[in-house]
A and B are shown apart, each in its own frame.
Chain A
Amino acid sequence: MANFAKSNAPRFSVDVYQNEYLPEGAQEVNAIVTVTSTGGGTTGGLPLPVTDPARAPLGDGGSAAVVVMVDCSGSMDYPPTKLRNARAATAAAIDTLRDGVRFAVVAGTHKAREVFPGNGTLATADPLTRAEAKDALRGLSAGGGTAIGTWLRLADQLLGSADVAIRHGILLTDGRNEHEEPGQLRDALEACAGHFTCDARGVGTDWEVKEVTGIASALLGSADIVADPDGLAADFTRMMENAMGKEVADVALRLWTPQGSRIKFVKQVAPTVEELTDRRTQAGPRAGDYPTGSWGDESRDYHVCVEVPAAEVGQEMLAARVSLILPAPEGGTPQTLGQGLVRAVWTDDMVATTSINPQVAHYTGQAELAQVIQTGLELRKAGDEEGATAKLGRAVQLANASGNADTAKLLSKVVDVVDAATGTVRLKAKVAEADEMTLETRSTKTVRVKR
Chain B
Amino acid sequence: MPQLDQLSACPSCAEPLEEGDRFCGACGADLEAAAAAAAAAQSSPAPRSDVPPAPRHAPTLPDGLAAAPPSGHGSPPPPPPPPPAAPPVPPAPPAAAAPPAQAPTPTEPDFALPPALGHPETPVEPTAPAGTPAPAPAGPDPRTALDRPGQPGAVADGGGGAEEPAAAGPEPTGPVCVACGTGTIDSDGYCEHCGHKQPRDRDHMESALDTVAAASDRGLRHHRNEDFFAIAETTTSEGTPATFAVICDGVSSATRPDEASAAAAAAASASLCQALPSGRHPQQAMYDALVAASDAVNELAAQTPVEPSKNAPACTVVSALSADGILTVGWIGDSRAYWVPDDRTATPARLTEDDSWAAQMVAAGLMNEAEAYADPRAHAITGWLGADAYEIDPHTASFKPDQAGVVVVCTDGLWNYAESAQEMAAAVPRDALVRPLQSAQHLVGYALDGGGHDNVTVAVVPFPAPSGGAGSA
Contact = CB atoms under 8 A, between A and B. Distances in A.
Interface of A: 257-261, 308, 312-319, 341, 345-349
Contacts of B7: none
A260 B180 CA distance: 11
B222 A318 contact: no
A317 B135 CA distance: 13
Contacts of B183: 259
A6 to B, nearest CB: 25
B429 interface: no
Given A258-B191, A259-B180, A317 B220 contact: no
Contact of B137 (A308, A315, A345, A347): A315
Contacts of A260: 194
Contacts of A347: 221-223
A259 B137 contact: no
B220 A314 contact: yes
B224 to A, nearest CB: 8
A317 B221 contact: no
A261 B219 CA distance: 26
Contacts of A259: 180, 183, 193-195
B147 to A, nearest CB: 27
B196 interface: yes
14 contacts: A258-B190, A258-B195, A259-B193, A259-B194, A260-B194, A313-B221, A314-B222, A315-B137, A316-B196, A316-B224, A319-B195, A346-B223, A347-B223, A348-B221
Interface string B143-166: 000000000000000000000000
Contacts of A261: 195
Contacts of A318: 188, 190-191, 195-197
A308 to B, nearest CB: 8
Nearest to B220: A314
Interface of B: 136-137, 180, 183, 188, 190-191, 193-197, 218-224, 252, 453
A315 B191 CA distance: 13
B194 A314 contact: no
Contact of B194 (A258, A313, A349): A258
A314 B197 contact: no
B223 A314 contact: yes
Residue picked from A312, A315, A341, A345, most chain B C-beta under 10 Å: A315
Given A259-B180, A314-B223, A341 B196 contact: no
Contacts of A316: 196-197, 223-224
Given A258-B191, A259-B180, A341-B188, A317 B197 contact: yes
A292 B419 CA distance: 58
Residue picked from B193, B195, B223, B252, most chain A C-beta under 10 Å: B195
A259 B224 CA distance: 23
A341 to B, nearest CB: 6
A318 B186 CA distance: 11
A347 B455 CA distance: 13
B196 A315 contact: yes
Contacts of B219: 314
Contacts of B221: 313-314, 347-348
Given A259-B180, A347-B223, A317 B188 contact: no
A260 B219 CA distance: 26
Given A258-B193, A259-B193, A314-B137, 14 more contacts: A259-B180, A314-B219, A314-B222, A315-B137, A315-B196, A316-B196, A317-B195, A317-B196, A319-B195, A341-B188, A345-B223, A346-B223, A347-B221, A347-B223
Q: Enumerate the 9 nearest inter-chain pairs by beta-carbon distance, A residue then B residue, closest first.
A: A258-B195, A318-B190, A316-B197, A318-B195, A317-B195, A316-B223, A314-B221, A259-B194, A317-B196
A317 B194 contact: yes
Nearest to A348: B221
A158 B120 CA distance: 65
Contacts of A314: 136-137, 218-223
Nearest to A339: B188
B137 to A, nearest CB: 6
A20 to B, nearest CB: 9
Residue picked from A257, A261, A313, A318, most chain B C-beta under 10 Å: A318
A68 B221 CA distance: 61
A308 B194 CA distance: 10
A60 B332 CA distance: 67
Nearest to B139: A314
A257 B219 CA distance: 27
A317 B190 contact: yes
B140 to A, nearest CB: 13
A404 to B, nearest CB: 25
A345 B197 CA distance: 9
A259 B194 CA distance: 5
A312 B137 contact: yes
B118 to A, nearest CB: 36
A257 B194 CA distance: 8
Contacts of B220: 313-314
Contacts of A319: 195
B406 to A, nearest CB: 30
A178 to B, nearest CB: 51
Contacts of A258: 190-191, 193-196
A432 to B, nearest CB: 46
Nearest to B196: A317
Nearest to B188: A341
A179 B58 CA distance: 80
A360 B180 CA distance: 31
Nearest to A258: B195
Contacts of B252: 349
A239 to B, nearest CB: 40
A95 to B, nearest CB: 47
Contacts of A346: 223
B216 to A, nearest CB: 15
A257 B137 contact: no
Contacts of A341: 188, 190
A345 B190 CA distance: 13
A341 B180 CA distance: 20
Nearest to B136: A314
A346 B219 CA distance: 13
Contacts of B194: 258-260, 317
A257 B223 contact: no
Contacts of A349: 252
Contacts of B222: 314, 347
Contacts of B191: 258, 317-318
A393 B137 CA distance: 50
Nearest to B252: A349
A346 B223 CA distance: 8
B197 to A, nearest CB: 4
Contacts of B193: 258-259
B223 A315 contact: yes
A259 B180 CA distance: 10
A52 B193 CA distance: 31
Contacts of B197: 315-318
Contacts of A348: 221, 453
